[in-house]
Amino acid sequence: MIRRIIVSLVINGVCLYSVGQILPEDVAISGGLKFFIVGAIIISFLNLLVKPLLKIISFPLVFITGGLFLIAINAIILWFLEYAIIILDFNNVSFNVFGLKGYLYAAIIFGLVNWTSQWLFKLRR
């Protein structure tokens, strides 16, 4: 169980790093390693508590769009991450996504990297 939590945190940190590297003009990340640790913990918490609720509430939209609405759910989770980092006010840590296009691309990249990483680690849920 501890191994699974650690692998999940590492995967979320890698996803955040990938988003920052692939979209430097749409996503601004500062704080270095501290950001990736804090961001991975917050994303894991959001994926554990908020994402299932969003999936239940938006099930009709997910069904009608053939799962494409899951990208919007990932974008909402990234918005919650940005908001949480602002509210928690970590020293020298920031995460900003610029515009709807930035959220869309970041959500797609985050989802793809997360899915690929889980497939590589064969994380069973």
For the chain, what's the residue count?
125
Average pLDDT in the chain = 91
Residue 56 lies in a domain: yes
Tell me the DSSP string of 93-121.
Answer: -EEEE-HHHHHHHHHHHHHHHHHHHHHHH
What's the pLDDT score for residue 12? 92
Single-letter residue type at 21 = Q
Residue 88 lies in a domain: yes
- 72: domain range? 26-114
Place of tokens 């602002």: 86
Bigger pLDDT: 118 vs 22: 22
What's the pLDDT score for residue 58? 95
Instruction: Give the whole-angstrom CA distance, residue 47 versus residue 55.
Output: 11
What's the pLDDT score for residue 120? 84
Q: Give tens-digit pLDDT for 31-69.
A: 899 999 999 999 999 999 999 999 999 999 999 999 999
DSSP state of 58: T
Number of domains in the chain: 1
Residue 124 lies in a domain: no
| Global pTM value | 0.90
